Structure 1
Amino acid sequence: MAESPSPAARRKQLIVGLIVGLLVGVGVSLWTGFWLWLAAGAVVGAVAGLLMRPPAE
């Protein structure tokens, strides 16, 4: 089985997921006019960043 990713790679994956979630949240918030989509996008991005396996270095 493959090695587990380094803590730095996991941290980077979480940050990338959070940024993508925030961008999607801002877009949906502007599109719908409902500001809570920003928070929902941040949460979904953080969870996706935590669950996804970082790419091999």
Structure 2
Amino acid sequence: MLRRFTRKIQMSGTLLSARKRQFYHAHPTKRNMRERALRRIIKTKEIRRLEKLGKLDEVKK
């Protein structure tokens, strides 16, 4: 019974399409890219501000 099921899955192409989609990563949308860029800018400004106040040691690179 299991062999029949496996064979039907392979013949229908379901297994092949599932393997193709397994590691697919969708491209980020423009909105996501903008939001990510804004978060990055805000974070770097905050780090610079804390450095100037002396509350943050060196920035890790």
- Structure 1 length-normalised TM: 0.52
Whole-Å separation in 2 of the counterparts to 1:5 and 1:15? 15
How many residues were matched structurally? 32
Q: Give the corresponding residue for 1:28.
A: 51
Q: Give the corresponding residue for 1:3.
A: 26
Unmatched runs of 5 consecutive residues or more in structure 2: 1-23, 56-61
> Which entry has the higher C-alpha Rg, 1 or 2?
2
Whole-Å separation in 1 of the counterparts to 2:25 and 2:42? 27
Q: Identity of paired residues, percent? A: 12
Please, what is the CA RMSD of the aligned residues? 1.4
Structure with the bigger RCO (C-alpha within 8 Å, sep 6+) is 1
